[in-house]
Structure 1
Amino acid sequence: MKKIFEMTDEELFEVANPMWRDLVKYSNEENYGAFTRNFSSSFIQGANEMELGKQFARAKLTKNLSEEIINLGTIRRGEYITVLYKQKNTKLEGEWLGRLVLGYENGKLKIFGATLF
């Protein structure tokens, strides 16, 4: 398989979209273990289970994400590729920008960042 740095945007979406969909699914379910399973070790250190639990409990945005995602593009920088999404919520009006940062850790593709603005 090609390394992510050699892939076209379309090929990157094929790899990244299942990871993003998992984040959406497990965020909606408030499932910390499954939500963080593809995180890099450095990213998981910052994803404290208690803090994520509080965020899951308080935020309507993180519990009601639409399964429909729209690919916006990619940003290639150094050792990482950022994949951008348009994300909607089933209970809140409007659109959000989803950001998924991918890279390699010990030869495996991992998530180095994931945010919703």
Structure 2
Amino acid sequence: MNIIDKTDEELLAIGTPWWEDLIKYSNKGQYGKFIQNFSTDLLRGLNEVEVGNQFAKSDLTRSLDTNYDFLGFIRRGEHVSFLFRVRSTKKPGEWLGRMVLGYERGEVKIFAASIF
């Protein structure tokens, strides 16, 4: 099965709650819950110490506004990128949020998540 074959509605039903969880657990600094839907490859590539420092020291990762704008999808290969406009409750401006979903062993997983 290829995730790019799912309809927009099916993708939003999967991805929206996961994006909201990423925001919630980032704001709370709950690393274990933040990574709960990550793919094995993504987990292997993460430096837990570095991510922990980001949670502890970054104003942005601890102050994400729960109100965001969904901008659209990019379907490529075997992955779908969700794009979001994100704001902070403490820092002025806007950021681009990206979450990439795909299949791993028959289950949908997060293959990338970032704000820049």
Of Structure 1 and Structure 2, the greater strand share is in 1
Q: Does the residue aligned with 1:72 lie in a helix, a strand or coil? A: strand
- More moved, 40-49 vs 5-14: 5-14
- Structure 1 runs of 4+ off > 4 angstroms? none
Q: Does the residue aligned with 2:29 lie in a helix, a strand or coil? A: coil
**How many Å apart are 1:110 and its aligned residue?**
0.2
Q: Does 1:88 align with 2:87?
A: yes
Question: What is the TM-score with the length of structure 2 in the denominator?
Answer: 0.93
1:94 aligned partner, one-letter code: G
Which residue matches 1:77? 76
Q: Does the residue aligned with 1:65 lie in a helix, a strand or coil? A: coil
- More moved, 7-16 vs 40-49: 7-16
**How many Å apart are 1:103 and its aligned residue?**
0.2
For 1:47 and 1:24, locate their aligned partners in 2 and report how far apart those are by CA, in whole Å.
Answer: 18
Which residue matches 2:32? 33
Count of matched residue positions in the alignment of Structure 1 and Structure 2:
116
Post-superposition Cα deviations, 1:23-56, rounded to whole Å, max 9, x if no partner, equal: 1011011111000010000001122221111011
Higher relative contact order (CA 8 A, sep 6+): 2
Asked if 1 retains the 8 angstrom alpha-carbon contact of 2:101 and 2:110, the reply is yes
Post-superposition Cα deviations, 1:29-85, rounded to whole Å, max 9, x if no partner, equal: 111100001000000112222111101111100000011121100000000000000
For 1:59 and 1:18, locate their aligned partners in 2 and report how far apart those are by CA, in whole Å.
Answer: 23
Unaligned 5+ runs, structure 1: none
Question: What is the TM-score with the length of structure 1 in the denominator?
Answer: 0.93
Which residue matches 1:100? 99
For 2:40 and 2:8, locate their aligned partners in 1 and report how far apart those are by CA, in whole Å.
Answer: 26
CA RMSD of aligned residues (A): 1.4
For 1:4 and 1:103, locate their aligned partners in 2 and report how far apart those are by CA, in whole Å.
Answer: 6
1:58 aligned partner, one-letter code: K
